[in-house]
Structure 1
Amino acid sequence: MEKFSQIENVQGASRTSWADVQEDREADLLHVLYVLRRHLQMIIGVTAFGVLVAILFCLFMKPRYEGMADLNVHPEESAALDMGALGDLATGAGGLDWSSKLETQARILKSDTLAWDVISQLRLDQNEAFATKSLFGRSLQTPVGKDVSSVDEARKSKLLTRFSKALRVEAVPKTQVIEIRFRSTDPALAAKVVNTLTSSYMHHNFMTRFEATMQASAWLQQRLTELKNNVEESQRKLAEYQSKANIIGTDETDNLAVSDLTDVSKQLTDAESDRIMKEAKYRLAQTGNPELIGTILPDSVLPVLRSQEADLRNQLAQYSTKFGSNYPKVIQLNNQLAQTDASLKKEIRDIEERFRTEYESAKRTEDQLRASVENRKKEAFSQSAKFSQYDILKNEVASGRSLYEDLLRKLNEAGIAAGLKSTNVDVIDPSAVPQLPVLPNVPLFIALGLFGGAFLGVCSAFVKESIDQTISSPEDAEEMAGISTIGLIPHFSMEGLNALATENQSVLARVPLAADRPQSKLAEAFRALRTSLLLANAGAPPKVIMITSAQPGDGKSTVSVNISAVLAQSGARVLLVDADLRRGVLARNLKVMPEGGLSECLAGRKSWRDLIIPVNGVANMWVLPAGHRPPSPADLFTSNKMEEILNEWRGAFDHVVIDTPPVVAVTDGVVLSQKTDAVLLIARASRTGRHPLRHARMLLAKVRANVVGLVVNDFDAKAKYYGYSYSYDKYYVEDKTETTVNN
């Protein structure tokens, strides 16, 4: 984009659109609309195809019905009995949040176990609506009369897969509800499957809880017997030890040593807190900061001394400023300030000493109490040693008895739970037979076909646009080059050229047909180009006109010959110069026999007046061939000789048309463009690449060439990609035979 901005600066305010049209083409809205309009027919066709596919799909698809039921899963038992942790043990759901528990139950509903239970109960393996041949598979039906157990594993797996695809189980967010849906071509079967699955799930839920409760009951009974024996043995050991150690009616905490230890420990805690406070005050006093010390000792004289010091310093500053340092009052204030500072420091030292004394006293008290605590600890440990084994045995008995009682209670609960047919699942709404199919959803499918087809069509348009790198219309060329189209050369068929060559052998493919066939629409196109060219420059028409292209084969030589012919027909003296010193073709196309050409003139070996040749059939038109190929054509064009010859041509002819090589391939045309009055850039429809054309325009803009316009060659006027057609037929009568000059 920086290159395009440079071109804009060079061309001036009148060509500001040059930078605008070169903005990011993929994101630019105008470019998007341009692509959509260009490929509108294809987009409409693909969209119509998408709608047609959706309609056909709806027509050929069998209607599918959906049965639906809602289950309410309670977080507690449906019965009013609170089973506590035993309920979690039975359901296997302990430790999960409620959302996870609902997802677990939904997964159980989708399990293969319940699915096969439903298939077996309803004999779906023999049901035509469920087990008949699918679109891409074989029939899964079991012959009538055979038991469901005869289904082999491979067919069973396929039946389960088909059942799973038709089933949908979802936990409704922020509720205790699980929604069950099943789709089938038979509405009655859809409802029956949902209701059967609900019953199977509730039975499975009950049996799972019942079996878990019975297992817990058996385990509790076994553990209860073991615990009872352990408790009896622990009580026997406790009685024997109590008798042996003579322990009667007391325990390890009921003694004087423990009570004494408790009191001394409390005193130690208080002494430690007192020491910490006094140590903190002492540390603050050590800083010597009067302000900090004043906060912990507000009744001291420090605030008074600090106030006196501030007042003396204020007076000293005022008198010193006004009378100087030798003034008696200043000397007196200095003495008073020194005395106040001394008093302040002495007071701080006194306070620090007092805090130090208090801190050391508190530290000694704390140390004494700490030592007393340690002594009493030893006494307590000594007195309590004989109670250790007693407490161990006593705790063992208590814990054993507690565990025994708890297990006995849970055993009774397990017995009650095993005798109850309770479940925590309720059916909110059983499935009714659906009356309307859920598929095909005709409006939805048609809308999807419409939007899908439109999306695919738009994507195809942009893919096609990105693949096609050639220009296809004047608008396309203008967008790439950033300049206006001032000429449009129509397409002619090769068959017409062959017929014309048979009638008149002197007329060849690239002779000035605009002069030979003046009534053709080709001739009119070149006359229209002549008018635009003569009006391109403000003031006088351009004398020296350079014609170039981005790449070979764009038809620049054809345009050069024919524009020279129509300029000569207007009465002007015209010189056609072949400046393609590498591959000049004008002499061969015009069937002239040159003795030299432009290269000899620039080398100084011959004069151009001796080398120009009149063109047969066109008055006032001469051609200067390219001549022999020099070693460095670009150097010749930059020489002073070229400037001298151009000045001579300006005086001798009304118009000089210079046919140059493609500017992207070599620099000859770029060099010559700086010496001409006007430059025509030729682009051939459906052949000239977009990027070469844009690059050619940039090269010419860099050297400030006066590119007056763009000529689109070989344009098919019958193409109507843009809502209109280019045609001259209604105004001009064409000869019987069409010709082509676009190659």
Structure 2
Amino acid sequence: MPENADIEPALAGTLLNNVSITPIINSTLVDISFSSPDPQVSARIANAWADAYIAENLDRRFGATRDARSSLEEQLQQYRQRLEEAERAVIAYATAQGLVSIDVPREDGDSAGTASQTLVATELAAFNSALQQATTQRIAAEAALAARSGANAGSTEASATADALRARRAELQVELAELRSRFSPSYPPVQALQVQIDELERAIREEQAGAQSGSQSRLRANYNEALAAEQRLQAQVNRLQANYTDQRQDSVEYNILQREVDTNREIYAGLLQRYREIGVVGVGESNVLVVDPAQVPGGPYTPSLIRNLLIALVAGLVVVILGLYAYDFLNQTLRDPRQVRDRLGLNLLANIPRIDEGDIVEELQHSYSELYEAYFSLTSSVAFAAGGSMPRSLMITSSQPGEGKSLTAVAIAYLLARQGKKVLLVDVDLRKSGVGKYLSIDTAQGMSQYHMGKDDWRSMVLPSTPLEDFHVIPAGRKPLSAAELLSSGRFQRMLDEAEAEYDHVVIDAPPVLGLVDAPMIAPSLDGVVLVIEANGGKWRHLESAVSRLRASNAELLGAAVTKLDERNAMYGYGYGYGYGYGYGHDRKKEGEEEGLPA
């Protein structure tokens, strides 16, 4: 038994999880299919589902009728027994108490209905009516006798007696008319009044006749006879009234039992009518039919190798795309150079590609190289941003070290010198100079010694090699406090003198974040260019650097994005920048063939 209890839930789950019921659009058909490793089992279970549904549908349609019929049969049997018991109780009680009831017409004049009352009540009503009639006869006889006894009084007295009888008849006629307006002519009081009126009319006629020829003895005899009849009827009425009073006390319990009988009879009649309306309902036929039974499949429909491969491919692509978007969303470095304007509010001056460290100087020396073209574009953009001409003094800085500011300063100085300008490159990054990586500098003298008191800055000017045609002042030895040296005011004096002797002065300044050097000297220069490393510069660092430069009233001309590579290809940057490597190589070959200098 415990084993069956464990197996049944598993079987139910298997049947429910593997069945598929699909409605066919624009029809009343459904398609039932079942999946299992055995084709025979699949067909049998699919047909079993259809058969089970048809059986359930029949039971649902006719089960309610069968239940209602069974319930009505039980209630009919129950109320039949109650009705029989109530009728037996009424008959037994009436027999014990001597109650005999008869049916009489209703007093409202409805001939179709009858009312039940006891025999004593019926007899009392009849005797009471007869008593009223006898009393009327006795009164009429007494009046006739009195009239005859006073015959000697003359015809005037006889006429007075007749008038009294007529007055009495008029009063009774009024009462009769009032009763007839409310009751039927068969009502006993109505009949009694009618009898009295008839007797009064007969007495009036006799009075009129007796006035001429009446016999006093005959009138006396009539009176005695009427009085005796009245007394007998009065005695009988008195006896019946006593019996009726006793029976009224017994009728209270009798009426209670009778109402119980009537209630049970009405309920039983209603249930019997409902039972007849339901009738005998047959099972009939189902309104659900099997159009095509399930057939044994000729081969498996799953798994499908091609479908699974396509699903895996699509799922893999979705996961990769979502991963790339998530990485791009979570990555806080600059990926798209176009965001420079949106997030920093700066002009994008140029996009500089990533070049191997060993090839940088060589790339700059070749005018057809991608690096040369990029920095040439930067030089032009700086001139445009400055109002159409290159600033006399230009500071190159970055938010943090290693973003390419020193290379940018060297490249701008070199390109300006190739345009025939007299250019001085000043390295004021006293803490960590980067100009020496691109130029051959073998002296310890530089800006640090100038700020410490040596006035002749011109003696520190060196020619640039291997990139020629411009001068450079190196940073010199690393001082203990670069910020104090730059704040002495000697830098401004040297800058004014250099601007008087050179066309352009390019300043390689320290990074902005964490140092006060760049914001301190930036207001003294005609323009500032911020260098940003692609895929490396954090947005929060860049925003902080721009905020510090603006707070120092620096003339920010824009930003140059450096070290673009294949990671930025999806934004339209990276390899293939500018004219592309292929076009550059073609120009190199053309230069070699024509003997042009590199």
Q: Give the TM-score range, shorter chain.
A: 0.5 to 0.7
Name which of 409, 412, 418 aligns with 1:563. Answer: 412
- Bigger radius of gyration: 2
CA distance in 1, matches of 2:373, 2:65: 101
CA contact (8 A) 1:520 1:733 kept: no
Name which of 391, 395, 400 aligns with 2:264. Answer: 400
- Determine the structure 2 residue equivalent to 1:464: 327
- Determine the structure 2 residue equivalent to 1:493: 356
CA contact (8 A) 1:491 1:715 kept: yes
- Determine the structure 2 residue equivalent to 1:181: 32
| 1:639 CA displacement | 6.4
- Determine the structure 1 residue equivalent to 2:16: 164
State the Cα deviation string for residues 17-55 of structure 1 (Å, max 9, x = none): xxxxxxxxxxxxxxxxxxxxxxxxxxxxxxxxxxxxxxx
**Structure 2 counterpart of 1:577, which letter?**
V
Name which of 655, 670, 674 aligns with 2:519. Answer: 670
Name which of 411, 427, 440 aligns with 2:288. Answer: 427
- Determine the structure 1 residue equivalent to 2:585: 729
* Partner secondary structure for residue 576 of structure 1: strand
- Determine the structure 1 residue equivalent to 2:457: 609
* Partner secondary structure for residue 586 of structure 2: coil
- Determine the structure 2 residue equivalent to 1:650: 499
CA distance in 2, matches of 1:626, 1:556: 18
1:625 aligns with 2:486: no
Q: After the TM superposition, which residues 500-515 of structure 1 pair with which residues of structure 2 at under 5 Å, given as runs?
A: none
CA distance in 1, matches of 2:378, 2:35: 73
CA distance in 1, matches of 2:567, 2:324: 21
Structure 1 stretches of 5 or more lacking a match? Answer: 1-148, 252-383, 498-508, 736-743
| 1:556 CA displacement | 0.9
**Structure 1 counterpart of 2:333, which letter?**
T
CA distance in 2, matches of 1:385, 1:705: 124
CA distance in 1, matches of 2:251, 2:92: 14
* Partner secondary structure for residue 731 of structure 1: helix
CA distance in 2, matches of 1:489, 1:599: 34
CA contact (8 A) 1:560 1:658 kept: yes
CA distance in 1, matches of 2:70, 2:505: 111
| 1:621 CA displacement | 0.7
CA contact (8 A) 1:238 1:394 kept: no
**Structure 1 counterpart of 2:265, which letter?**
R
**Structure 2 counterpart of 1:465, which letter?**
D
Q: After the TM superposition, which residues 75-474 of structure 1 pair with which residues of structure 2 at under 5 Å, given as runs?
A: 152=4, 154-167=6-19, 181-184=32-35, 189=44, 192-202=47-57, 204-205=59-60, 208=63, 212=67, 215-216=70-71, 219-220=74-75, 223-224=78-79, 226-232=81-87, 235-236=90-91, 239=94, 392-408=256-272, 417=280, 420-422=281-283, 425-427=286-288, 430-431=291-292, 459-472=322-335, 474=337
**Structure 2 counterpart of 1:227, which letter?**
R
CA distance in 1, matches of 2:263, 2:299: 66
Pair 1:706–1:226, CA change in 2 (3 A): same
CA distance in 2, matches of 1:613, 1:702: 32
Name which of 518, 521, 530 aligns with 1:681. Answer: 530
| 1:432 CA displacement | 5.1
CA contact (8 A) 2:94 2:100 kept: no
Pair 1:390–1:556, CA change in 2 (3 A): farther
Q: TM-score, normalised by structure 2?
A: 0.56
Q: TM-score, normalised by structure 1?
A: 0.46
Aligned Cα root-mean-square deviation (Å): 5.4
CA contact (8 A) 1:237 1:393 kept: no
State the Cα deviation string for residues 661-705 of structure 1 (Å, max 9, x = none): 333444432343332212222122332234433554455456554
CA distance in 2, matches of 1:486, 1:657: 17
**Structure 2 counterpart of 1:401, which letter?**
R
| 1:154 CA displacement | 4.5
State the Cα deviation string for residues 410-429 of structure 1 (Å, max 9, x = none): 66778x54xx5325842266
Pair 1:171–1:184, CA change in 2 (3 A): closer
| Count of residues in correspondence between the two structures | 433
Q: Using CA pairs below 8 Å that are at least 6 residues apart, which structure has the higher relative contact order?
A: 1
CA contact (8 A) 2:410 2:425 kept: yes
CA distance in 2, matches of 1:460, 1:410: 73
CA contact (8 A) 2:354 2:563 kept: yes
CA contact (8 A) 1:596 1:628 kept: no
Structure 2 stretches of 5 or more lacking a match? Answer: 104-114, 118-247, 592-598
Pair 1:546–1:734, CA change in 2 (3 A): farther
